[in-house]
Amino acid sequence: MSDLLLTISLPHFLVVSFLLLAAGISTMLTKRNAIGILIGVELVLNAAAINFVAFNHYGWPGVRAAPAIDGQMFAIFIIVLAAAEASVALAIFLNFYNNFGSIDVERADDLKA
Partner 1 sequence: MIVLAQQVASHPLSPMQPLLFYVFAALTVGSAWAIVLSQNIIRMAVYLLTTLAGVAAIYFMLNAEFLAAIQLIVYAGGTLILIVFGVMLTSKNPFMQLVTSPLERALGLFIAASVAVMAMVALLNSPVPGGAAAPAAPAGHDHVARIGRALLSDYLVPFELAAVLLLVVMVAAAYMARRTQR
Partner 2 sequence: MTPVQAHILDLLAAATLIPLASALLLLFAGKRWLGRLSGWVATLAMAGSCGCALAALSAWQDNLPATIVFEIPWIPVPGQAAGYLNLGMLVDHLTVAMTAMVTLIATLVHLYSIGYMQGDKRFERFFAYLSLFTFAMLGIVVSASLTQLFVFWELVGLTSYLLIGFWFERPGPRLACKKAFVMNRIGDAGFLAGLAILYCKLGGNLLLPAAGDAQTPSGVPIETIYQTLTAILADENASILSPPAWLTFAGIALFCGAIGKSAQFPLHTWLPDAMEGPTPVSSIVHSATMVAAGVYLTARLLPILTPGVHLFIATIGLVTLVIGACMALVMTDIKRVLAYSTLSQLGYMVLGLGAGAYNFALLHLVAHAFFKCCLFQCAGSVIHAAGGKQDLRSFGGLWRKMPATMACFAVCTLAIAGASVMGVGLSGHYSKDGLIACMHNYGLALDEAFNPGGTTFPFAHIFYWAPVAVAYVTAFYMARAFTLTFLGSPREPHLIEHAHEAPLTMLVPQGALALLAVVATPWGMAFWGDRINASAMIVPWVQGGTEEQVGETAVEFTHHAVGFAWLVGIAGGVALYAAGTKNAARLAKLPGVRLLHTWFLNKFYFDGLYDGFVVGLAKAVAGLAWILDRAVIDAAVDALAKRVREGAASISPFDPDPSGSPINSVAFAAQAADQALRPTHSGRIRLYVLLAFGSAALILMAVLILVFAARAAGHAA
Provide DSSP, 81-107.
Answer: HHHHHHHHHHHHHHHHHHHHS--BGGG
Binding status of residue 108 toward partner 2 by CB under 8 A: yes
C-alpha span between 41 and 93 (Å, rounded): 15
Query: Does residue 42 touch partner 1 according to CB under 8 A?
Result: yes
* Calpha distance 59→9 (Å, rounded): 11
Using CB under 8 A as the binding rule, whether residue 13 contacts partner 1 is answered as yes
Contacted entry of partner 1, partner 2, none for residue 108, CB cut-off 5 to 8 Å set by kind: partner 2
Secondary structure letter of residue 65 according to DSSP:
-
**Which residues, numbered 17-36, are part of the site for partner 2 (CB under 8 A)?**
25, 28-29, 32
Give min distance, CB of 108 to partner 2, in A: 7
**Which residues in the 35-54 window bind partner 2 by CB under 8 A?**
37
Angle subtended by helix axes 70-100 and 34-58, to nearest 10: 180
- Using alpha carbons, select from 38, 28, 31, 17 the residue that is nearest to residue 88: 38
Residue among 52 and 93 whose Cβ is closer to partner 2: 93
11 lies in the binding site for partner 1 (CB under 8 A): yes
- According to the binding rule CB under 8 A, does residue 39 interact with partner 1? yes
